[in-house]
Amino acid sequence: MRPYNFSAGPAVLPESVLRTAQQDMLDYNGTGFSVMEMSHRSDMFHSILYHAEQDLRQLLAIPSNYKVLFLQGGASAHFTQIALNFANGFKRIDSVVTGNWSGIAHSQMGKLSDVKVHLVAHGGDLYHYNDLPPASQWDISPDSAFVHYVINETVHGLQYRDIPQLGKDAPPVICDMSSEILSRRINVADFGVIYAGAQKNVGPSGATIVIIREDLLERCSERVPNVWNYQKHIEKDGMYNTPATYPIYMAGLVFRWLQTQGGVAKMEKINTLKAQTLYDAIDGSGGFYRNPIQPQARSYMNVIFTTGDKTLDERFIEQAAVRGLMFLRGYPVLGGMRASIYNAMPLAGVEALVAFMAEFQRRYG
């Protein structure tokens, strides 16, 4: 049996997807060569890209007035790219900081322009990153270019379970969904732009999904270099430069796998059960395991916990690895443990972790 991979990313992939990729490695669909060797301008790759987009549209019910791109650079590149494209002619961007990644985004968005990145809410100052500032507390200006937030913070283990609703007069919402896209149902029309690195719920690292409401493309100035200009990528059907062909192919396999699992609605039920199973084990440990996050803000994708003893935490991580429970070490800044339980992590993996937690507590509690 394969080990259970709890890495925050690059993360676990469905075994059936890996086996299909293995089968296709030397001969994709009777072509006699690998997708890795395939020209991105060939009809064969155009078919892969087309079907990946259509399957993603179906899974997320993406409206027809939204464009979809598979770009490179990871979500981190788009921290700056969204400002370059969508803040032209504006004096202010509204930014919500709720943890590590939104904090980095906040620092990066204004670096290549004169636009002011205004901090509309700071979960660290308000809640010490143990809770999330509700949208009612966000200091938003209707004149801002857009409002940016990260819906799930992988490092601090926080997630907006109730998606913030800002009202009709609010600026467009741009959201980093890297660590939760396709894990639950969302209304794409609530957002101006959604972007997400692939390496958590979609596929291997190297591709970034960007979903853009068409009217916002009018903001993409000719002053923005073409390779960073979303409009230029749209005009070239995502082929302005060589895309990450193999990660896109892998993402397409994952989209098909998700459809066979019952789609996003079914995955949401499974993910809820996995998260509740793990949080119940933490809360039911009598304080041996601790999670500092307020229950309503707990991430269903990245569960952080600790014993409160660094030496014991290290022992937990080492012994878990021996049992095939891999990559449970927390983010370096926080320490402790972190279990990332994305779509491809089966319930059996969470149950195996919970069983080990109980055994470890009996031994050291």
Tell me the per-residue pLDDT of 62-78, one tens digit each, with 9 for 90 and over. Answer: 999 999 999 999 999 99
Q: Which of 184, 336, 358 is nearest to 278 (CA)?
A: 358
Catalytic residue among 176, 228, 274, 313: 176
**pTM reported for the whole predicted model:** 0.96
Residue 359: pLDDT band with limits 50, 70, 90: very high
Question: Which amino acid, one-letter code, is at 161?
Answer: R
pLDDT, tens digit, 9 for 90 and up, residues 276-315? 999 999 999 999 999 999 999 999 999 999 999 999 999 9
Q: Which of 141, 75, 70, 153 is nearest to 108 (CA)?
A: 75
Q: Which of 217, 159, 154 is nearest to 186 (CA)?
A: 159
Catalytic residue among 101, 131, 228, 274: 101
pLDDT, tens digit, 9 for 90 and up, residues 104-161? 999 999 888 789 999 999 998 878 899 999 999 999 999 999 999 999 999 999 999 9
pLDDT, mean of residues 247-271:
98
Residue 337: pLDDT band with limits 50, 70, 90: very high
Q: In this predicted structure, which of 111-125, 200-214, 263-277 has the lowest mean pLDDT?
A: 111-125
Residue 60: pLDDT band with limits 50, 70, 90: very high
The mean pLDDT value of the chain amounts to 96
- The residue written with tokens 């998700």 in the block is 258
Model pLDDT, residue 127: 83
pLDDT, mean of residues 228-237:
96
Catalytic residue among 67, 94, 131, 200: 200
Model pLDDT, residue 99: 94
Model pLDDT, residue 112: 82
Is the predicted pLDDT of residue 365 greater than 90, yes or no?
no
Residue 333: pLDDT band with limits 50, 70, 90: confident
309 is catalytic: no
What whole-number distance in Å separates Cα of residue 182 and Cα of residue 60? 7
Model pLDDT, residue 168: 83
Residue 244: pLDDT band with limits 50, 70, 90: very high
Alpha-carbon distances of 238 from 81, 242, 269, 289, rounded to whole Å: 16, 9, 33, 47
Model pLDDT, residue 198: 95
176 is catalytic: yes
101 is catalytic: yes
Is the predicted pLDDT of residue 48 greater than 90, yes or no?
yes
Alpha helix ranges (H) inside the chain: 15-24, 43-60, 74-86, 100-108, 123-127, 230-235, 245-260, 263-283, 310-322, 347-364
Dig out the tokens for 185 from the structure: 């149902």
Query: Which residues have a Cβ under 8 Å from the Cβ of 142 and sit 6 or more positions away?
Result: 169, 170, 171
